[in-house]
Structure 1
Amino acid sequence: MKQQEPFPFTLDVVAYPIAFIMLLWLIFAIEIRFGFSLNFLGIYPQKSSGLIGVVFSPFIHSGIEHLWHNTIPLFVLSTALFYFYRPIAFKILFYGIILSGFLTWCIGRPSYHIGASGLIYVLASFIFFKGVFAKHYRLIALSLLVAFLYGSMIWNTLPLEEGISWEGHLSGLLVGLLFAMVFKKQIAKPKRYVWEEPDYNEENDAFLQHFDQNGNFVESIVEEELPESNLPEVTLPLTITYTFKENKEL
């Protein structure tokens, strides 16, 4: 007997990621339509006025290429988050934005840091490390998939290229790892069989009762009670007499 499948699919698995991405594109469209920039709402490290970007920076992008490069991984990773970690998905998103943004504010260079890439690193890091820690075959497979698709992002956590907020990427990576260690008991549990339960007693297992101590199959015959009959009881031993009658016509 197995437990119920821990990863059921519902419409909100894709509905929430699509809604979030549509919001990002809507904000960018408003900037283009009215000809102004919201970059001043990004994170500006070590300045009190720059703290506003801790909340707003993931919703602001410098251009359509910047936004497009964040759209696909954000959709893939947030969909995986809602499917495999639905009970804590909103916590990961909300606290991921706040903590990664604040850490960026603490360690970042004096410049505006904008974009959802910090949140993407939170999701990628959390999904990868949580799958490894959980030891569930599906979550481990998901971790390997994330490593295959986005493993190269690790290089963007180093100051190798101008114009990229490696501080935001590094902050997201560290926050995701932190979440993977903190959120231990709020994820779907692996399926367990009856014999994997701590209180399992093999003597009460109906299936194992068909085998002897050496593992040989023992066929048990269930005796059924016959209905009562009006026939007289027969006492053993029983004597049967045969009478042979000769056929004279032959």
Structure 2
Amino acid sequence: MGGPDRNWGGLGGRAGVGPMDAERMIAEARKAFFVMFGFVAIVWLLQLANFTDHYALSRDYGVVSGDVTTLPDIISAPFLHWSWAHIESNSGPLFVFGFLAAYRGVVRFLGLSLLVAVTSGLVVWFFERGDVDTVGASGLIFGYFGYVVVRGIFDRHLIDTLIGVVMAASFAYMLTVAVPGTPGVSWLGHLGGLIGGLAGAWIFRDRRPGPLPGPGPATGAPAHRTPNPNTAGPRADLHKELGDLGLL
């Protein structure tokens, strides 16, 4: 009585090495699977505790705009939900987009998750109306979605670019709840998460320095080499990535 309204959502040069080989990719994908499985399991265990305590955790650890005491809750709010329907709607997308965001590097994914939680939470804290208590993993979902869609472009990685195109085409409808108009849903948390995911794709991009010219055979001047069509160019990149995946 008289407490905050419930709001579902928010929080809710190049690398010195080439693309990961198939063995390393499979190892990272395996780690990503268990990380996301554990993440979702923790969210469900907290939901069970939250439910048995009449959602006291959501009331105590949600983000309330303008309330300085809730700023640390930016980190805890993505783990909490307001109902079973709320957590059920978030769990599938959280696992899928989280796995796709994590399968090329779990450490990078953890940094991305922190960034997205902060951007989503801060947008809610600054711009949401003051009587709303916001919790939910959907801010993370939108962050992972944005990251997956553009990561391949920033990394110049063909497979990730194709994944991004497929995800963008398949889930573009999600963006309709990142704009005002859906009652009871924190579109601000969604928008903040999406911004964090897009920024994370740039911040955590692969940084690969280009090849340095070597000295010429006699004069010490940079050598001029004719590119080998089998080892350079977009087609070679495609062959390398397909080979890494065991498709060639």
Describe the shift of the 1:3–1:97 C-alpha distance in structure 2 as closer, same or farther (beyond 3 A).
closer
Q: 1:117 aligns with which of 130, 134, 138?
A: 138
Distance 1:130 1:144 in 2: 11
C-alpha distance in structure 1 between counterparts of 2:81 and 2:175, whole Å: 21
Q: TM-score, normalised by structure 2?
A: 0.71
Q: What is the CA deviation profile of residues 165-192 of structure 1, one whole-angstrom value per residue up to 9, with x for unaligned ones?
A: 0010010111111112222335xx7xxx
Residues 122-172 of structure 1: CA deviation (Å, up to 9, x unaligned) = 111111122233332101111012213321111111111110000100101
Question: How many Å separate the matches in 2 of 1:116 and 1:38?
Answer: 14
- Corresponding residue to 1:95 among 91, 115, 124: 115
- Percent identical pairs in the alignment equals 23
Judging by fraction of residues, say which structure has more strand: 2
SS in structure 2 opposite 1:8? helix
The range that moved more, 26-35 or 72-81, is: 26-35
The answer as to whether partners of 1:42 and 1:52 remain within 8 angstroms in 2 is no
Asked whether the equivalents of residues 120 and 188 of structure 2 are also in contact (C-alpha less than 8 Å), the reply is: no
Contact 1:58 1:97 (C-alpha < 8 Å) held by counterparts: yes
Partner of 1:37: 56
Query: Given the alignment, which residue of 176, 185, 201 partners 1:180?
Result: 201
In 1: Cα distance, 2:203 partner to 2:110 partner: 15
Which whole-Å deviations, capped at 9, do the CAs of 1:185-226 have from their partners, x for residues lacking one? 35xx7xxxxxx99778459x8x9xxxxxxxxxxxxxxxxxxx
Separation in 2 of the partners of 1:123 and 1:68?
A: 18
Q: Are positions 1:129 and 2:146 aligned together?
A: no
Cα 1:133/1:32, change in 2 over 3 Å? same
The 3-state SS of whatever aligns with 1:113 is strand
**CA shift at 1:8, angstroms?**
1.4
Runs of 4+ in 1 over 6 A off after TM superposition: 196-200
Relative to structure 1, is the Cα distance of residues 182 and 22 closer, same or farther in structure 2, using a 3 angstrom cutoff?
same
Q: CA deviation at 1:75?
A: 0.4
Partners of 1:90 and 1:157 lie apart in 2 by 23
1:35 offset after TM fit, Å? 3.9
Deviation at 1:4, TM superposition (A): 5.8
Partner of 1:158: 179
Q: TM-score, normalised by structure 1?
A: 0.70
Contact 2:31 2:106 in 1 (8 A): no
Match of 1:54 in 2: 74
Aligned residues: 197
1:31: how far off? 2.1
* Unaligned runs of at least 5 residues, structure 2: 1-17, 215-223, 231-248
Letter in 1 for 2:168: A
The corresponding residue for 1:5 is: 21
Alpha-carbon distance in 2 for matches of 1:149, 1:70: 17
Deviation, 1:86, is 3.6
Equivalent residue, structure 2, for 1:23: 42
SS in 2 for 1:160: coil
Query: What is the CA distance between 1:104 and its match in structure 2?
Result: 1.8
Matched, 1:75 2:91: no
